[in-house]
Structure formats: C-alpha cells, structure tokens
Structure 1
Amino acid sequence: MQDPSSRPATGYPYPYPYPNPQQPPAASTNGYPNPGAAAYPYQNHNPYYAPQPNPRAVLFRRLFIVFMAFLLILGLILFIFFLVVRPQLPDVYLNSLSVSNFNVSNNQVSGKWDLQAQIRNPNSKMSLYYDSLGCLLYYHRAPLSDTRLPPFSQGKKDQTVVNATLSVSGTYVEGRLADAIAKERGAKGSVEFDLRMGSFVTFRYGAFRRRRYVSVYCDDVPVGVPLTSGSGKMVGPAMRCKTY
C-alpha cells in the first residue's frame, strides 16, 4: 500500500528564473543563447508619434536671429563710421567783452555789453549748421540779460566771428548781488561775469545728419569797470570757452 505522504505536489516549478538585466544572457546547452533570457526593448516605428516642432516658435526664433544680426551689423557700421569721421564739438573763443553805461544802485543794474566770439569747426570731414544762437549774461548764476543771433553754417575747418549785444536797464537784483558787485568792483576795479551760449547744431557728412544741442560756457570773464567810470573792457587776452 502506497504511503499517502509520498504523493507528488501539485503545480509545476517556473521553468526559467527572472532575467537579470546586469547579466548577459545565458547560453543554452547547444551553444545558442537562451531565447527566454534576452529582453528586446519596444521600438516605435510610427513616424506620426515623433514630436513635431512648433512652427510659430521656429518663426520667432528665426526672426530673432535676423534681428540680432541686423543690430550687430548696424552697430559695426556706426562704429566704423564714427571711428573714421570722428565728429568733434566746435571750438569757441571769447575775443572781447566790453560794457558801457554800467551802474548799480538801489538794487538795480543797468548796462550794455558788447561781445565778440570766434567759433571754429574743427572737423575736417563734416560741415556744421547752427540754429539760432542764444547768448545769456550772468553774475553769480543770476541772469542779467539775453539775446539771440540768426542761424549760420560752417564748412569744414571754417571759422565764424559772431557779435552780440546784451543790454539791461534798471533790472532788479537781490540786495546780496548788488552788494557783491559793488564790493568786487571796489576791491579789484573789475567785475567777473559769466557768459552762456547754446544752439542746436546739425553735423553733416554726405547724407548723414546728426543734430544735438551744444552748450558753451565762458565763466569768470573779468571786465574792468572802475568806480569813476561806467565803461570797461575784458581784462586779458581772448579766452577759450568750454563746450558740451
């Protein structure tokens, strides 16, 4: 009689272990690789599932590249242009400044100033065109008189002499300014005035045009005005003014 405990177990063992991806496929007894141990990745051969570029993004990217290339070329052209042409601001010299009928009393100033300035175009390749030239006379940053001159042009390396007259009659000034003028006049026999000039200047080179505002500063111009006379002229030689 057969022992019931010796009956075979139900089910079947798993014929192959789970493949280890870090180990090479085991060879079979006949020398060929075990087909069950090799894993074949899934490949999608359908081209319609490949990611497609966004046409709008591609267009914007190309436009950006073209725009940056245009700016680079334009900047290079301007750099070469300014390197070759080298636009320079005009040189301004104050040749003379005289005053007549000068009087300061009761916080009022009267006088007539005549000035002559020489404006030179230092550019050898550019001509200049000046809009109406404004002239202002100051004392300690307090404006006394102003006038305007008509427009004019300058060729390459040209020089232009301009004359202007500024007058004031009984203009009120603060007491401290009147006292400062009287004190300076009595101590040195002269009074230092400040002259400002300004104009929109167009730089021309062929078809190129560049327009900018040019300011001229002639500071601390001494004008001899003794107490015994109401007339005087600039002390010393012509002076060079600053341009910005």
Structure 2
Amino acid sequence: MQQDPNSRPATGYPYPYPPQQPAPPSNGYPPNPATAYPYQNHNPHPYHAPHPNPRAILFRRLFTAFTVFLLILGLILFIFFLVVRPQLPTVHITSLSVSNFTVSDNRLAGNWDLRLQFRNPNSKMSLRYEAVTCDLRYDRVSLAETRLQPFDLGTKEQAPVNGTLSVAGTYVDGRLVDSIGKERGSKGSVEFDLRVVSLVSFRYGVYRRRRYVTVYCDDVAVGVAGNSSSGNMVGSIKRCKPY
C-alpha cells in the first residue's frame, strides 16, 4: 500500500521531540556536576534566628548609661580641680620656748610654748580647721601632746595659733636621756620635732571636701645650756611640711 505523504500522526500519541540539551557554558568548560541541579532543602523545620533577651538588652543599656555618667562626672571633676586648684595650707613655726626643763633619773619635765602661723594659699577656697592636735617629739619618741582650738581661714588669709605642751616627770628611756645630755653639751641646744594633725574642710560655694592634713616641723632647735632649764628657738622662722 502506498503511504500518503500528507498524512499526520494519529491523535493521542505525542510527537517524539528530541531531548533538550543544556546550553554550553560561556567559559568553554563542561558544567560542574555539583551545580547542574539546584539544591532543594527537605528540612521541614526551617532555621529562624533566636530572639534577643530583653533583660540582657536592658542590662547592656544600663551599663552603657552608667559608664557614660562616670565619664561625664570625671570630666566635670577634672575641670573643677583644674580651675579651683585646691592647695594644702602653708605652716610656719615662729617661736618655740621651753621652761622648767629637766632630765634626770630617766625622768623628763618641761613646759613648751609654741606659736604657729597658718596661711591659706587658695584664692577660691576657704579652710576650716577642726580636731587640731599637736605632738612634741624627740628622736621619734612622743614627749607631750595637746589639742589646739579650731579656727577658720578665708581665701589668702593667715592666722597665728598658740599652744602649750607640758610634761611632768614622765619616764623616758635611758638612751633618750643620754642623747639629750650629749646634744646639750655639744651644741648647747636640743632639736625637737613637732607634728600637727587636723581635719581640714575645703569649702568653695556648695562644694565641701574634708580630709586630714598632717604638718611636720622637724629639727626645731631650742637653746638649752647644760646648766639652764629654759631656752628659746634658735634661728628665725622655720617652715613646716604639710602632707
């Protein structure tokens, strides 16, 4: 039987198209098998980023705010002290005399009268002295102690402060007695040390700062000959060291 050249395929049967080939890569190399087919995620539970803890965020913000507050406060204090520049007071011992001074049989007696000159070097801060105690020493051994009256010092002001220290027949070490005797015999004087401790209030407007200030007056020579029981400070005014 001769086949009709215009015949068409029977209905219900697909036309056998050739399989579609992938386009060659532009770089001329064969495709990578690992990337030939797209990756499909078969995980039924997709990943979600964890939510931040509100309490941790609050603590972090509080810590940041507190750090900023401390930095600002430190800057304010630095500028304040840079402008005000608080200084320790200057102290001079202007006189020191002794009477009824005796050292014998490991017993020491004497009355010391002293005068100190306090000066406030600050131009913007006033000073208030409280609980002022004065200690008389020889060779680091305390001989007598007294308490001085409180007082105030305005800016750039100065004021004298008087005090008396007494000791009557107190026991001292034999080494101390020998040292005082040798010093009186060789120099005709005895060097005493004074220590003044006070609670000082630095005041500037509403600002108040209290701290203990210690003043040392070292090696204050008092002329006391071997056969005398009284004497006065040798030399002129002596400056003390505040700490």
The normalised TM-score by structure 2 is 0.83
CA distance in 2 between partners of 1:182 and 1:103 (Å): 10
CA distance in 2 between partners of 1:235 and 1:26 (Å): 115
CA distance in 2 between partners of 1:85 and 1:128 (Å): 14
Equivalent residue for 1:15? none
Q: Is the 8 A contact 1:116 1:163 kept in 2?
A: yes
Structure 1 residues 87 and 43, CA, compared in 2 at 3 Å: closer, same or farther?
A: farther
CA distance in 2 between partners of 1:175 and 1:50 (Å): 85
Q: CA deviation at 1:43?
A: 11
Q: Is the 8 A contact 1:26 1:37 kept in 2?
A: no
Q: Is the 8 A contact 1:202 1:209 kept in 2?
A: yes
Q: CA deviation at 1:240?
A: 0.3
CA distance in 2 between partners of 1:84 and 1:62 (Å): 33
SS at match of 2:73: helix
Q: Is the 8 A contact 1:124 1:157 kept in 2?
A: yes
Identity %: 66
Q: CA deviation at 1:47?
A: 9.8
After the TM superposition, which parts of structure 1 deviate over 3 Å for at least 4 consecutive aligned residues? 40-44
User: Is residue 203 from structure 1 mapped to residue 215 from structure 2 by the alignment?
Assistant: no
SS at match of 2:221: strand
User: Is residue 57 from structure 1 mapped to residue 56 from structure 2 by the alignment?
Assistant: yes
Structure 1 residues 150 and 43, CA, compared in 2 at 3 Å: closer, same or farther?
A: farther
The normalised TM-score by structure 1 is 0.83
Mean CA deviation greater in 65-74 or 49-58: 49-58
Aligned length: 213
Structure 1 residues 26 and 190, CA, compared in 2 at 3 Å: closer, same or farther?
A: farther
Q: Deviations over 1:68-126 (max 9, x none)?
A: 00000000000000000000000000001000111110011111100000000000000
- Two-structure CA RMSD over aligned residues (Å): 2.1
> Mapping of 1:98-109 within 5 angstroms?
98-109=97-108
Q: CA deviation at 1:132?
A: 2.3
> Mapping of 1:88-237 within 5 angstroms?
88-237=87-236
The letter of the residue matching 2:60 is R
Q: CA deviation at 1:41?
A: 5.7
Gaps of 5+ in 1: 1-24
CA distance in 2 between partners of 1:166 and 1:91 (Å): 22
The letter of the residue matching 1:27 is A
